[in-house]
Homo-oligomer: A and B are copies of this chain.
Amino acid sequence: RIAAELRLALAEKTLPGLRVLITAGPTWEALDPARGISNRASGKQGFAIAQVLAEAGALVTLVAGPSHEATPPGVTRRDVVSAEEMQAVCLEVLEGSVDVLIANAAVADHRPAQRSPQKMDKGRLPNPLPLTENPDIVAAMARHPRRPRWVIAFAAQTHDHLEQAAAKARAKGVDMIIANDIGDGRMGMGATANHLHMLFGGQITDLGSGDKLTLARRLVRTLAPLLQHSPPSSSETSESP
């Protein structure tokens, strides 16, 4: 903790005053007060990026789904549970003006169609379980009148689906995709190590593998010169609003 505070004070300020909104962690979609749908994201990668951005002098708001990670020093944290709550808080933060959105959270695509305020008896659980699609937070932010200058989304892929991730990015109007490899059980979601690829301007850059803080430093070092400017409007993965 003291080491983290010192790093925050002493690190080179490559992104002074840049207003960054970063989402991290899973979302929890309750079926009743006990049960729910979720995913195995720990929030580690997003929290590490928030930490490194704050060290670089950025003004970081971290909107976090349920996570056991400690809030990095200098970061403003807003805790949420569901995708709908995450979207509401992100839109609220957007009202205060955001330069860069980094959508790292593993937002559940669906939630149970019905939610019971009391724990359901096992025998009363609907089976099959009807689901409702959750809002697409990144797409909503990318199309917002107050759209951040940069919209960067994470994509979790179990295997070589980078092309698919790029297509998804174009459809959503995001400027850059960071692809998480979750094919290897020791990597990505819920794990300490990770492997990242950056998809930007029609190019794929391998950011390599390593622990999530090391990768966060590598990512922010790569991003810093880009984030000073607007994304090139000709960027292959971008759709101007």
Contacts and interface: CB of A to CB of B under 8 A. Distances in A.
Interface in A81-120: 106, 108-110, 117-119
Interface in A1-59: 28, 32-41
Nearest to A116: B158
Given A37-B35, A127-B130, A128-B131, A159 B118 contact: yes
A106 B36 contact: no
Contacts of A129: 128-129, 131
A122 interface: yes
A79 B34 CA distance: 21
Nearest to A81: B40
Candidate in A126, A128, A130, A183 with the most chain B CB atoms within 10 angstroms: A128
A34 B28 contact: no
Interface of A: 28, 32-41, 68, 106, 108-110, 117-119, 121-122, 125-131, 156-159, 164, 182-183, 185, 189
Contacts of A185: 33
Contacts of A108: 35
Contacts of A41: 34
17 contacts: A28-B40, A32-B158, A33-B40, A33-B182, A33-B183, A33-B185, A34-B40, A35-B109, A36-B37, A36-B38, A36-B40, A37-B37, A110-B125, A110-B127, A126-B128, A127-B131, A128-B131
Nearest to A157: B119
A189 B128 contact: no
Nearest to A67: B68
